[in-house]
Amino acid sequence: MDQAVLILIKPDGLKKSLTGNILTRLSETKLEIVAAKMVRVTQNLAEEHYKHLKDKPFFNEIIKYLQGELHDRKKVMALIYWGNEAIKKCRDLAGSTNPEEAESTSIRGSYGRITTSGVYENVVHVSSNDSEAEREIKLWFSPEEIIVDLYATQDIVHKEFKARSWA
Ligand code: TYD
């Protein structure tokens, strides 16, 4: 079954210059990249992304982590991979959430760590299932940033619309 999956290279991955390594590992899946961009993560975006973990004791720390406050890198790289069994393929390559438990050859097993305050710095985010992938992709991307039609869209006419353009 063809699926879309959101991948985030988190601030620790960027700080450790792992972008190339991670993309190389993901290329083993033979999936297609259908969107990619650098994102400055607002508190609102981070909180929406992790809203299912709002009650967890580590919630505040992972919000700071995703925003780059623990790594002096206030950005993440967001990508959408698309193709057969995309979620399973990418999650297998990423490895377990806890980098100490992740298989040593997986991305998280190779590059992740647990901080002294207990946060799992696990380098990448990978959507966990189809409905989470849809929710996350709609949160991180607008339809025109994706080169295929993944989900239904609607046309909206903006009467007054301020946008930045090249000067
Ligand atoms: P979660 O959505 O459960 O895992 P995954 O990212 O594998 O889908 O958790 C979100 C992030 O929260 C996870 O990537 C790392 C962090 N985290 C911790 O720091 N400690 C924990 O005990 C858990 C479960 C997650």
pLDDT reported for residue 91: 98
C-alpha–C-alpha distance, residues 10 and 94, integer Å: 12
Pair 17, 83: CB distance under 8 Å: no
Is residue 122 classed as helix, strand or coil in its secondary structure? coil
Ligand 1 pocket test, pick from 97, 108, 114, 117 with the greatest ligand atom count within 8 Å of Cβ, gives 97
C-alpha–C-alpha distance, residues 122 and 10, integer Å: 8
125 lines ligand 1 (CB under 6 A): yes
Mean pLDDT split into 10-residue runs, the chain, 167 residues: 97 97 97 98 98 97 97 95 98 98 98 94 98 98 97 93 92
36 lines ligand 1 (CB under 6 A): no
Closest among 14, 35, 123, 144 to 79, alpha carbons compared: 35
Closest among 139, 102, 106 to 6, alpha carbons compared: 139
C-alpha–C-alpha distance, residues 35 and 146, integer Å: 5
29 lines ligand 1 (CB under 6 A): no
C-alpha–C-alpha distance, residues 65 and 47, integer Å: 11
pLDDT reported for residue 102: 98
What pTM, to 2 d.p., does this model score? 0.96
Which residue segments constitute the domains of the chain, with CATH numbers given? 2-145 (3.30.70.141)
49 assigned to active site: no
Ligand 1 pocket test, pick from 62, 117, 121, 123 with the greatest ligand atom count within 8 Å of Cβ, gives 62
